[in-house]
Amino acid sequence: MAALSGGGAPWRRGWLPALQFVRRGSKAVTRHWKAMHFQRQKLMAVTEYLAPRPAIPPCCLTPKKEKVEEVEEVFRDNRMIAICQYNSMPGEDVVLMRHYLRKHNIEVKFVLNEIVRPVLSQSKYKNLLPLFVARNILLVSPELKAKEMLRVLKGVPQVNLLGACIDDTILSRRGVENFAKLPSLEVSQGQTVGALALLPSQTSSLLQRGPAHLTALLDEHIRRLQAGETGSPPEPAPAHSSGGH
């Protein structure tokens, strides 16, 4: 025991010290948010990965049945269908153009050639296919509003009229302009009624001209006969209307 408890305590040299858990006063860790440096923000934005866009949108690869039915409905329910070439323009101008056209009951339809061309190729409007070669829009109306449509498009140089189908008749741009110059239906009806009323009056004048001329000749002959019996000169015959010129 003396040796164990001796002055050098040799056994303690190889003894591992006991672990002591000292609980210090806990201190709350507070981290203040610091904004990212502007240069680092730009670097992160430039190096951000962007997935490549497909060359053709998926919606254009397989036309949806609803869009095909919409195109068929447009050509079935409208008397005037104008095909126009559409160039990019600000959204405010598009809204303004639609507003002025809607005042005349004309609607703007944005369509894809990949959907329109298969529909037209199997219909009576297949002769319109050469017009669908670029980005196109349709101006459609259940009424014949060619004059009003041209007046609106005159102030929109980004939209060029290529042709139209009016009452199942395909017209070029010049044909649409000539159609717009025609008088309205009411005026045309009035002109037709006037022409039909003029024909019977002219026919009646032609039929009355012969009998009136014959009557005048007979009256002149009778007067001459009467003048020869009495020996007096014949009186001048009164002027008779010939019933026409």
Domain limits, the chain: 58-180, 183-230
The pLDDT assigned to 58 comes to 62
Q: CA-to-CA distance for 135 and 113, rounded, in angstroms?
A: 8
Instruction: Note the pLDDT of residue 160.
Output: 93
Q: What is the pLDDT of residues 92-137, one digit of tens each?
A: 999 999 999 999 999 999 988 888 999 898 888 889 999 998 889 9
- The residues, ordered by sequence, that sit 6+ positions from 81 with a Cβ below 8 Å of its Cβ are 74, 75, 138, 139, 140, 164, 165, 166
Rounded to two decimals, the pTM is 0.54
Regions of the chain where pLDDT drops below 50 = 1-6, 11, 241-245
CA distance 73 to 142: 12
Q: What is the pLDDT of residue 243?
A: 46
Tokens of 187: 């005026």
Tokens of 242: 């010939």
Sorted by sequence, the CB contacts under 8 Å of residue 159 that are 6+ apart come out as 84, 85, 86, 87, 89, 97, 137, 153
- Structure confidence at residue 3 (pLDDT): 45
CATH class of 58-180: alpha beta
Neighbours of 245 (CB within 10 A): 5
What is residue 216's predicted lDDT score, i.e. its pLDDT?
Answer: 81
- C-alpha dihedral sign at 125, 106, 139, 117: negative
pLDDT tens track for 80-91: 999 999 998 888
DSSP state of 155: T
Note the pLDDT of residue 18.
Answer: 55
Rounded distance between C-alpha atoms, residue 201 and residue 119, angstroms = 53
Question: For the CA atoms of 193, 198, 199, 203, what is the dihedral angle to 10 degrees?
Answer: 150
Model pLDDT, residue 53: 74
